[in-house]
């Protein structure tokens, strides 16, 4: 489970922002930190909800794990 963990991205990574009925592709730049709000879930192990730059986005869990490094209190 990734919920509650923070990750610093090592490369630019795609995310999706949903505002009402509109979905927009967002590129989260490298070196940015995302916080996993929820997920992955047993129903969908691929996607997680994240918080970045005061925005709630959806990202692939695999992208976060492969392109990010977990941020702990020692590395913050």
Percent of the chain exceeding pLDDT 90 equals: 82
pTM of the model: 0.88
Q: What is the per-residue pLDDT across 32-50, written as a single tens digit (0 to 9) for each? A: 999 999 988 777 789 999 9
Q: Are 26 and 18 in contact (CB under 8 A)?
A: no
Query: In this structure, how many other beta carbons lie within 10 angstroms of the beta carbon of residue 34?
Result: 24
Q: Domains in the chain, ordered, with CATH?
A: 6-71 (2.30.30)
What is the predicted pLDDT for the residue at 36? 96
Q: Average the pLDDT over 16-27 and give the result.
A: 96
Averaged pLDDT score across all residues of the chain? 93
CA angle 37, 41, 45 (to 5 degrees): 110
C-alpha dihedral (61, 42, 1, 54), degrees to nearest 10: 60
């Amino acid at each position: 489970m990734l919920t509650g963990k923070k990750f610093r991205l090592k490369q630019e990574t795609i995310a999706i922002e949903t505002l009402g009925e509109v979905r927009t592709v967002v590129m989260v730049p490298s070196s940015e930190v995302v916080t996993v709000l929820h997920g992955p879930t047993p129903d969908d192990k691929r996607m997680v909800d994240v918080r970045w730059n005061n925005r709630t986005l959806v990202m692939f869990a695999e992208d976060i794990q492969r392109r990010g490094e977990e941020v702990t209190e020692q590395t913050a």
